[in-house]
């Protein structure tokens, strides 16, 4: 069922997907409970996620804290090993590729995170930080690395001379530009953006989002964009996937999703989203209770404990993935 | 329009700068109560007066560090009435938290100091109170909820104990009455089965419930004013929506005055009657919430509203504000926003902009406020947004 979804996405957008994530599961063993009666539990961080990222497009994952967005991204970055399911890069499973291809993959896929400062060494000039991904490619010598770093800095709106500055000499917004410079220095195909603007001030946030958009237009990067702010997602994306408790609930072309959200969870997210204007009234879909623990995911539809529309079948059977419109899929018993 | 620069204020009052609060006090009578008898102790009124619950005038708070003096709050003024909610919105470092902490006289010691102004609460001057009196007021008639609910709860005490603790400081009650009070405040914040949960510890609550417990502590002593400083920023979207609803309900039930501090215009849109926009330690614009969204009069407000990506409409390009926010260490001879402002003219860089009243109760500190208010320079898509919202 999930493969059918992924295939359908590929067909609908004409052309082979650059990245395909197929029925991905990532589980962790965690020890929980009172000190002496501690038990090992399975935490299902990602529990059935499929999507495609197409060339030159932005696919966004939206969902609340702990729903598995970062874990999905880390699996794509080959930092986390899938418990099951597969990740295909240009049609080839990441499990099957050899060491050399892995190196090429690592330079083709880059990432920018929410807090770039924590990944920078405060004692090294940012030139080092920016050119680190280039070390994977032994044909690039030191001089060329420096030139590439300078070019990248200029592309992100900083000065070439800034290569010799230290991280603390930059403001928060400038540091995020440095992180983007690092991501683009190796001429990647796909950049994973995990909450890249969440910690920035409103005025700086717009600068960085516009920069990301122009870079995409000029250089054709694909983005896997992770965020919880819906306006940001709408601004950045062609396709959007909505995750809840490790699973994809709805996947759609972006404007279609914002115009016509189908899944109760998506509707609840939209209801809860802060309004752009005091007069905006939203369709009123409120969830009950708090989100369940990822170690104890409810059976049937995992939203049924909170869903205002739940029917008896919802607590029994996990809903199938259904196409509900061109480029629009959801998993819910209402459809 | 009245230019407040031309309004004569009491000559005896020292250091009177033209702050938005003045304009509100005398132009805007919406929802205010006129005082029956003149018990005005401020000597600053122009005749009739109304006494707001909270009246901040020309507040100045400085922080001293190795880098020099940081003028974090540079002459802030506003009024807030019982049952009303005022939002202070601005970017990081604009002085929002310092303003809130100054009201409670909780600015970080020893390097922060309130160097001027007045804070009248319930008819009394807070800046003249002793530390002992202030302790009674904090958590009593003025409560504050901060961003991090986990940090505001002590993990080793049950939540019932922690709520009772705050009641104990302010009210003398028997053990039974105290427990009843604790249960009642938990019920008010919609914690399910409060009688059973008073003995639970913070870790036994989910994030959203913990924030409710912090809310229960805040309202346990029936405050008149509740200050929420980024109180919902750390919460998830759906939990945040529930919590904001709860605060709105509590405000109505308890007739609270709410001072909401946030960097998010969405929270302002959902929660506030009036809005003060802060930049570099000053309130640069003040108006009723719909005015701010429909007809902003300060270029900074216009730019901020246009820099936010919208949930309800498709925006193709955001209008980013160039540069970065100004720091309190830098003294500007002119408008602090001038280096980033697309409206700036030559005088913006040399003289402080006047406080301009563009409509009753709507003020902006800008040389070109009238033009900006007229909307000639507004970008297309933001006009669409308000048109759509109004529809
Ligand atoms: N290494 C790990 N070991 C155990 N549990 C983990 C690990 N990494 C993540 N988790 C858990 O997996 C779940 C998903 O986490 P993840 O970081 O992917 O969420 P997220 O959607 O990125 O959330 P946020 O919006 O807060 O960043 C959470 O319950 C988290 O606690
Ligand atoms: N504890 C502190 N010690 C020294 N300086 C401080 C302290 N807290 C704040 N400041 C400084 O005071 C100024 C105003 O800060 P304030 O915390 O009021 O800003 P804010 O508007 O609340 O910002 P934010 O949105 O980031 O909370 C800033 O320049 C800040 O660096
Ligand atoms: S006073 Fe001048 S610089 Fe300041 S906001 Fe107005 S137009 Fe811009
Ligand atoms: Mg994450
Ligand atoms: Mg603050």
DSSP of B79-99: EE-TT-EEEEE--TTSSHHHH
Pocket mutation for ligand 3, best pick of B340, B344, B371, B374 (most atoms within 8 Å of C-beta): B344
Q: What percent of chain B has pLDDT over 90?
A: 44
Tell me the pLDDT band of B50, cut-offs 50, 70 and 90.
low
For A244-283, write each residue's pLDDT tens digit. 999 999 999 999 999 999 999 999 999 989 888 988 877 6
Q: What is the bridge-based pairing of β-strands A58-62 and A239-244?
A: parallel
Contact B385 A287 (CB under 8 A): no
Nearest to B307 among A173, A202, A270 (CB): A202
Residue nearest atom 4 in ligand 1 by C-alpha distance: A28
| CA–CA distances in Å: residue B306 to residues A24, A253, A284, B303, B364 | 38, 25, 27, 5, 18
**Tokens representing B250?**
């509590």
Provide mean pLDDT across the span B120-131. 94
Q: What distance in angstroms lies between residue A133's CA and the mean position of ligand 5's atoms?
A: 36
Verify whether ligand 1 is closer than 6 Å to residue A69 (CB atom). yes
The phi and psi torsions of A21 (rounded to 5 degrees) equal: -105, 125
Q: What distance in angstroms lies between residue A168's CA and the mean position of ligand 1's atoms?
A: 29
- The secondary element (H helix, E strand) that includes residue A61 is strand A58-62
> What residues in B contact A64, CB-CB < 8 Å?
236-239
With CA atoms as reference, the chain A residue closest to B295 would be A277
Predicted confidence (pLDDT) at residue A5 exceeds the cutoff of 60: no
**Tokens representing B371?**
């033009």
For B11-29, write each residue's pLDDT tens digit. 333 333 333 333 333 333 3
8 A C-beta contact, residue B214 and residue B152: yes
Which residues have a Cβ under 8 Å from the Cβ of B183 and sit 6 or more positions away? B194, B195, B198
With CA atoms as reference, the chain A residue closest to B383 would be A277
> What residues in A contact B248, CB-CB < 8 Å?
none
CATH number of A2-330: 3.40.50.300
Please report the residues numbered 210 through 239 in chain A whose beta carbons come closer than 8 angstroms to any beta carbon of chain B.
Answer: 210, 213, 228-232, 234-235
Candidates B166, B146, B164, B142; CA nearest to B256 is: B142
Q: What distance in angstroms lies between residue B51's CA and the mean position of ligand 1's atoms?
A: 51
Report d(CA B27, CA B43) in Å as an integer: 18
Q: Which atom of ligand 1 is nearest to the CA of A68?
A: 18
Nearest to B389 among A272, A273, A277 (CB): A277
For A231-247, write each residue's pLDDT tens digit. 999 999 999 999 999 99
Report d(CA A72, CA A79) in Å as an integer: 10
Predicted confidence (pLDDT) at residue B43 exceeds the cutoff of 70: no
Per-residue burial over A182-212, b if 16 or more Cβ lie within 10 Å, else e, is bbbbbebbbbbbbbbbeebbbbbbbbbbbbb
Tell me the pLDDT band of B149, cut-offs 50, 70 and 90.
low
| Chain B: closest CA distance from residue A8 (Å) | 26
Tell me the pLDDT band of A28, cut-offs 50, 70 and 90.
very high
Q: Which atom of ligand 1 is nearest to the CA of A293?
A: 29
Q: What is the DSSP letter of A140?
A: S
**Tokens representing B321?**
């504000």
Of A179-193, A244-258, B78-92, B305-319, give the lowest mean pLDDT range: B305-319
With CA atoms as reference, the chain B residue closest to A292 would be B206
Residue position matching structure tokens 């914002």: A258
Q: What distance in angstroms lies between residue A99's CA and the mean position of ligand 4's atoms?
A: 28
Q: What is the DSSP letter of B379?
A: -
Pick B30 or A111 by higher pLDDT: A111
Could you give the residue ranges of the DSSP H alpha helices within A220-303? 230-236, 254-259, 264-272
**Tokens representing A203?**
């005025």
Residue nearest atom 12 in ligand 1 by C-alpha distance: A45
Tell me the pLDDT band of B115, cut-offs 50, 70 and 90.
very high
8 A C-beta contact, residue B53 and residue B81: yes
Greatest distance between any 2 Cα atoms in chain A = 67
Nearest to B314 among A234, A269, A272 (CB): A234
Verify whether ligand 2 is closer than 6 Å to residue B281 (CB atom). no
Instruction: For chain A, give every domain's residue range.
Output: 2-330
Question: What pTM value is reported for the model?
Answer: 0.84
8 A C-beta contact, residue B274 and residue B288: yes
Domains annotated for chain B, with CATH where assigned, are 4-50 (no CATH), 54-272 (3.40.50.300), 297-390 (no CATH)
Could you give the residue ranges of the DSSP H alpha helices within A140-284? 142-155, 172-185, 202-219, 230-236, 254-259, 264-272
What is the ipTM for the molecules in this complex? 0.84
Please write down the HEC assignment for all residues of A63-93.
Answer: CCCCCCHHHHHHHHCCCCCCCEEEEEECCEE
Predicted confidence (pLDDT) at residue B10 exceeds the cutoff of 90: no
For A127-164, write each residue's pLDDT tens digit. 999 999 888 878 888 899 999 999 999 989 888 999 99
Which residues line the pocket of ligand 3, CB cutoff 6 A? B 298-299, 335, 337-338, 341, 343-344, 348, 353, 366-368
């Amino acid at each position: 069922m999930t493969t059918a979804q992924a295939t359908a996405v590929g067909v609908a957008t004409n052309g082979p997907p650059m990245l395909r994530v197929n029925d991905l599961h990532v589980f962790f063993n965690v020890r929980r409970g009172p000190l002496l009666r501690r038990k090992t539990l399975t935490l299902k961080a990602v529990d059935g996620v499929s999507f495609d990222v197409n060339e030159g497009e932005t696919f966004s994952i939206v969902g609340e804290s702990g729903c598995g967005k970062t874990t999905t991204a880390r699996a794509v970055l080959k930092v986390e090993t899938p418990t099951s399911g597969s990740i295909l890069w240009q049609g080839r499973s990441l499990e099957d590729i050899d060491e050399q291809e892995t190196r090429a993959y690592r330079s083709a896929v880059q990432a920018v995170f929410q807090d770039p400062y924590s990944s920078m060494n405060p004692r090294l000039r940012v030139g080092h930080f920016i050119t680190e991904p280039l070390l994977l490619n032994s044909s690039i010598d030191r001089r060329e690395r420096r030139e590439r770093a300078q070019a990248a800095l200029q592309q992100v709106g900083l000065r070439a001379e800034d290569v010799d500055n230290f991280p603390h000499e930059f403001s928060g917004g400038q540091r995020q530009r440095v992180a983007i410079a690092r991501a683009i220095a190796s001429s990647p195909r796909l950049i994973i953006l995990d909450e890249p603007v969440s910690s920035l001030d409103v005025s700086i946030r717009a600068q960085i989002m516009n920069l990301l958009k122009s870079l995409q237009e000029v250089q054709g990067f694909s983005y896997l964009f992770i965020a919880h702010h819906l306006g940001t997602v709408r601004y950045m994306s062609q396709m959007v996937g909505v995750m809840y408790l490790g699973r994809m609930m709805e996947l759609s072309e972006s404007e279609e999703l914002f115009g016509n959200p189908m899944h109760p969870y998506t509707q609840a997210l939209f209801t809860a989203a802060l309004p752009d204007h005091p007069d905006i009234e939203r369709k009123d879909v409120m969830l009950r209770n708090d989100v369940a623990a990822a170690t104890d995911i409810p059976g049937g539809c995992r939203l049924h404990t909170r869903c205002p529309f739940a029917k008896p079948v919802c607590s029994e059977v996990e809903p199938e993935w259904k196409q509900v419109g061109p480029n629009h899929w959801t998993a819910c018993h209402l459809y | 329009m009245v230019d407040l620069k031309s309004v004569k204020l009491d000559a005896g009052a020292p250091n009177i700068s033209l702050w938005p609060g003045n304009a509100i006090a005398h132009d805007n009578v919406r929802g205010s109560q006129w005082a029956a008898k003149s018990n005005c102790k401020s000597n600053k009124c122009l005749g009739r007066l109304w006494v707001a619950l909270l009246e901040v005038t020309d507040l100045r708070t400085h922080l001293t560090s190795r880098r020099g003096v940081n003028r974090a709050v540079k002459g802030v003024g506003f009024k807030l009435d019982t049952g009303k909610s005022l939002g202070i919105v601005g970017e990081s470092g604009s002085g929002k938290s310092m303003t809130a902490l100054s009201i409670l006289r909780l600015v970080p010691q020893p390097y922060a100091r309130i160097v001027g102004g007045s804070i009248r609460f319930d008819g009394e001057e807070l800046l003249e109170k002793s530390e002992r009196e202030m302790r009674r007021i904090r958590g009593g008639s003025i409560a504050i909820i901060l961003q991090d609910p986990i940090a505001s709860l002590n993990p080793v005490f049950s939540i019932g104990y922690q709520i009772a603790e705050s009641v104990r400081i302010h009210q003398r009650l028997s053990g039974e009455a105290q427990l009843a009070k604790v249960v009642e405040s938990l019920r008010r914040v919609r914690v399910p089965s409060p009688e059973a949960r008073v003995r639970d510890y913070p870790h036994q609550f989910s994030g959203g419930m913990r924030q409710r417990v912090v809310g229960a502590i805040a309202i346990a002593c029936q405050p008149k004013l509740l200050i929420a400083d980024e109180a919902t920023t750390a919460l998830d979207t759906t939990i945040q929506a529930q919590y904001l609803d709860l605060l709105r309900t509590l405000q109505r039930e308890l007739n609270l005055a709410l001072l909401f501090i946030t960097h998010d215009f969405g929270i302002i849109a959902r929660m506030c009657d009036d809005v003060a926009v802060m930049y570099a330690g000053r309130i640069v614009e003040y108006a009723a919430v719909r005015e701010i969204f429909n007809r902003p009069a300060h270029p900074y407000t216009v730019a901020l509203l246009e820099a936010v990506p919208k949930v309800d409409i498709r925006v193709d390009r955001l209008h980013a504000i160039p540069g970065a926010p100004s720091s309190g260490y830098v003294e500007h001879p002119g408008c602090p926003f001038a280096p980033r402002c697309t409206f700036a003219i030559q005088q913006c860089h040399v003289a402080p902009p006047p406080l301009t009243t563009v409509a009753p109760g709507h003020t902006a500190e800008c040389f070109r406020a009238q033009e900006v208010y007229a909307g000639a320079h507004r970008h297309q898509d933001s006009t669409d947004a308000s048109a759509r919202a109004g529809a």
